[in-house]
Amino acid sequence: MSIARGFSKAEFAARTRHAQQLMAERGLGALLVCTEPEVRYFTGFLTPFWQSPTRPWFLIVPPTGKPIAVIPEIGVPLMATTWLDDIRHWPSPRPEDDGVSLLIETLTDIGASHGNIGLPMGPETVLRMPLNDYQRLRAHLCDATFVDATDIIRTLRMVKSEAEIAKLADICRIVSNGFAAVPANVHAGDRLCDVFAAFRTDLIGRGADEVPYLIGAAAPGGYDNIIAPPRDAPLAAGDLLMMDTGATRDGYFSDFDRNFAIGFADDATRRAYDTLFAATEAGLAAAHPGATCADLFNAMGRVIADAGYQIGNAGRFGHGLGMQLTEWPSLRAADRTVLAPGMVLTLEPSLSTGPGRGMVHEENIVIRVNGPQLISQRAAPKLPVINP
């Protein structure tokens, strides 16, 4: 059985207070967010309606008190089920003024029309409102300064609460069980697209709400493409099959993959697998509070280089995990972020097995005081062979 849905009001209050502390340090009169994870982080507002690009949504964190929602009318009933008290709305879509004047009015109401308004503008952020509307907002609030608040959001979201960790562990458990059942359900001759559809269905049956991310490939000796949807081609003996999935439950993601040999595996493929397994072990050994992302990258990279491989083309060996498939930080050589208890990360070493071919392993972990806690069930130490 999966854990209960949602979060306590205390959880949202604590997130908001933490934001307000950081806002005070930075001298912000308001924090403005317009993206799904950020609105949800402060409210619990969970809906797939964000699939529709038509309407902008805004949330304002004032210096004290609860956040204020400035949202399309269609979202009011759902937002009213959250802990918020102040929900302002307009009849959207209304392209001629899609919330801009209501946003200006609300920011003015809370005294933020003079001073600094924080908005995420940095790496891994997007502006989910029309650029023209943002310019209009700035022009009308000419006595306010919009400043980059990426560091505030990053600081908050990068370290998970125990309630968030429980949700991440829950979906990782579901997906681990799903991967464990793959060998019994997959056969040479199966079309890759059918294998994927069956895996997707199996995960839903096990309690995943959605499977927004499912990619993979099958090819002898390594795959050439780790972000493609499945092809119709049938699995052949000697193929290395990889499936990588980001499934969600209650809005929190898993993100890990598994590799399987179909029928048999040659020595080179087994050796690449062993190398990535060892690289992940090195990543686990290094994943202690106080280490940096660069330390983890280097620990994994050393194993790969020592075995004589080039690294893969992903640009990093893992990343944060939470309400999004990938979050801050990146496990890369230039990232000096210091690991802290409560961070949830993927370890994702990859290597090249030849021109245009490669292999990738991935696990999901929580950084604890004494080291890493695996929340994905560790991959098999030796490459599993299906129908040997």
Distance CA 71, CA 90 (A): 7
The least CB distance from residue 160 to a second copy, in Å, is 17
Report the candidate in 113, 105, 65, 63 with the shortest Cα–Cα distance to residue 86.
65
Rounded to the nearest whole angstrom, what is the least distance from the CB of residue 196 to a second copy in the complex?
A: 9
Residue 128 or 271 having the CB closest to a second copy: 128
Query: What is the closest distance, in whole angstroms, from the C-beta atom of residue 60 to a second copy in the complex?
Result: 18
Which residue's CB is nearer to a second copy, number 199 or number 278? Answer: 199
Q: Which is nearer to a second copy, 111 or 229 (CB)?
A: 229
Amino acid of residue 104: I
Indicate the helix (H) or strand (E) that contains 248. strand 239-249
Q: Which amino acid is at 128?
A: R
The Cα–Cα gap between 239 and 312 comes to 19
Q: Which is nearer to a second copy, 50 or 237 (CB)?
A: 50
CB of 268 to a second copy, least distance (A): 20
- The residue (of 91 and 290) whose beta carbon lies closer to a second copy is 91
The first and second tokens of residue 202, run together, are 């199996």
Q: Which is nearer to a second copy, 78 or 163 (CB)?
A: 78
H or E segment to which residue 360 belongs: strand 357-360
Question: Rounded to whole angstroms, what are the CA distances from 302 to 318, 331, 381, 384?
Answer: 15, 14, 19, 25
Between 129 and 339, name the residue whose CB sits nearer to a second copy: 129
- Shortest distance in whole angstroms from residue 10 CB to a second copy: 22
State the Cα–Cα distance between residues 6 and 89, nearest whole angstrom.
24
Residue pair 45/31 in contact by the 8 Å Cβ criterion? no
Let me know: does 58 contact 34? Beta carbons within 8 Å: yes
Smallest gap from residue 222 Cβ to a second copy (A): 12
- Cα distance from N-terminal residue to C-terminal residue, the chain: 34
Find where tokens 């021109």 sit.
355
Closest approach of Cβ 349 to a second copy, in Å?
Answer: 14
